Structure 1
Amino acid sequence: MIAGMSHDPYAELPEVPSFTVTSSDITDGGTLPAAQLSGIFGVPGGQDVSPQLSWSGAPEGTKSYAVTCYDPDAPTASGFWHWAVFNIPASTTSLDTDAGTEGGSAPGVTLANDAGLARYLGAAPPPGHGPHRYYFVVHAVSAETLDVPAGATPAFLGFTLFGATLGRATLVATHENTG
């Protein structure tokens, strides 16, 4: 944990088995590259490109997946959801780089993030706010489809995942706006 940072946002949820998630674009514990920063929010060089993700070792009984990106260090009382996709078929074990664009190749249902955009939104912490952590999480789900309305928030998806998550694979990268 980075000094001064809040705890793991998943620590208060029921413990579930972990499995493996990797990326050819980002490194667990590393710094986000420019492609995963937010040009939409004016970060120089930011491209709002979702990272490539691959996962394996999900628990038996997995019937679908959800993929989320969350910043618990955003200066709000609720963090900031950058990306949320659910009802990804169990046969899917990877997402390509930039699958999270609006109308991109991510299978399943993409919810609007906290900026109101149904896509991946890159990192854009306020200048001088310190390093922020970005939790890229693949959730192994016990149902083929989750009953989440298309207009729901990622937090509502998280509430629905509370009782449906069989396992969780987590990759955490950071970014700090020193501007």
Structure 2
Amino acid sequence: MRNFFCILIAFIAIKTASAQTFTLKSNDLGGQFTNEFTANAFGCNGSNKSPELSWANAPEGTKSFAVTMYDPDAPTGSGFWHWVIVNIPATVHELKAGAGDAKSNVAPANSLQSINDAGFPGYLGPCPPEHDAAHRYVITVYALKTDKLGNTATSTAALTGFMLNGQVIAKASLIVYCKR
């Protein structure tokens, strides 16, 4: 019986040591947004291209993914949602650069881009007010326990966020800064 427990403890230790953390990364982004990814609105003249994002080690039971980009430093009293994309199939582990253009076919098939806080679906790059301190842009991937979230293209980001938090298994985030 003692050998059984020693083997069981060793198995648990190996399993725990080999477990990986759900992670999000981007080959396009460093610590600061470049002009390629900033908005072409509100006084900014960037290319408004959404960055490449990839994730790994999703938890068991993941049925779909969602990605959001949020600026908690926006001077609105409630932050600013720049991007909400949901219903990304569990077999997909990357958003290609430009996937935030809701009119292109770059986003994964069957995914859904809801409206951002500027009122249209898709990505809106950062454009903090001039002379503000650098804003933090939190990009988060959610591993979800549902295939379809149930929101629509006209669902607000706040409503979608509420729905995400009811279905989340795990999430991973990046923080990227922007100042002008």
| Partner SS for 1:155 | helix
Distance in structure 2 (CA, Å) of the matches to 1:42 and 1:93: 34
Distance in structure 2 (CA, Å) of the matches to 1:149 and 1:109: 8
2:38 is aligned with what amino acid? L
Q: Which residue of 1 aligns with 2:10?
A: none
Q: How many angstroms does 1:62 deviate by?
A: 0.3
Distance in structure 1 (CA, Å) of the matches to 2:167 and 2:144: 5
Q: Which residue of 1 aligns with 2:130?
A: 127
Q: How many angstroms does 1:112 deviate by?
A: 1.1
Q: Deviations over 1:24-61 (max 9, x none)?
A: 1102xx011111111123313x1110000010011110
Q: Which residue of 2 aligns with 1:43?
A: 44
Q: Which residue of 2 aligns with 1:83?
A: 83
Contact 1:66 1:85 in 2 (8 A): yes
For structure 2, the 5+ residue unaligned runs are 1-19
2:58 is aligned with what amino acid? A
Q: How many angstroms does 1:18 deviate by?
A: 5.5
2:124 is aligned with what amino acid? L
TM-score by length of 1: 0.84
Alignment counterpart, residue 173 of structure 1, candidates 169, 173, 176: 176
Distance in structure 2 (CA, Å) of the matches to 1:150 and 1:106: 14
Residue identity over aligned pairs, in percent, reads 44
Q: Following superposition, which runs of at least 4 residues in structure 1 exceed 2 angstroms of deviation?
A: none
Cα distance, 1:76–1:118 mapped onto 2, change above 3 Å: same
Q: Which has the higher helix share?
A: 2
Q: Which residue of 2 aligns with 1:31?
A: 32
For structure 1, the 5+ residue unaligned runs are 1-16
Distance in structure 1 (CA, Å) of the matches to 2:22 and 2:58: 6
Q: How many angstroms does 1:102 deviate by?
A: 2.5
1:52 is aligned with what amino acid? E
Contact 1:18 1:167 in 2 (8 A): no
Distance in structure 1 (CA, Å) of the matches to 2:21 and 2:149: 21
Contact 2:112 2:152 in 1 (8 A): no
Q: Which residue of 1 aligns with 2:153?
A: 150
Distance in structure 2 (CA, Å) of the matches to 1:152 and 1:36: 24
Cα distance, 1:149–1:99 mapped onto 2, change above 3 Å: closer
| Partner SS for 2:151 | coil
Cα distance, 1:69–1:18 mapped onto 2, change above 3 Å: farther
Size of the alignment, in residue pairs?
158
TM-score by length of 2: 0.84
Distance in structure 2 (CA, Å) of the matches to 1:42 and 1:94: 30
| Partner SS for 2:177 | strand
Distance in structure 2 (CA, Å) of the matches to 1:136 and 1:81: 10
Q: How many angstroms does 1:161 deviate by?
A: 1.1
Cα distance, 1:18–1:111 mapped onto 2, change above 3 Å: farther
Q: How many angstroms does 1:77 deviate by?
A: 1.2
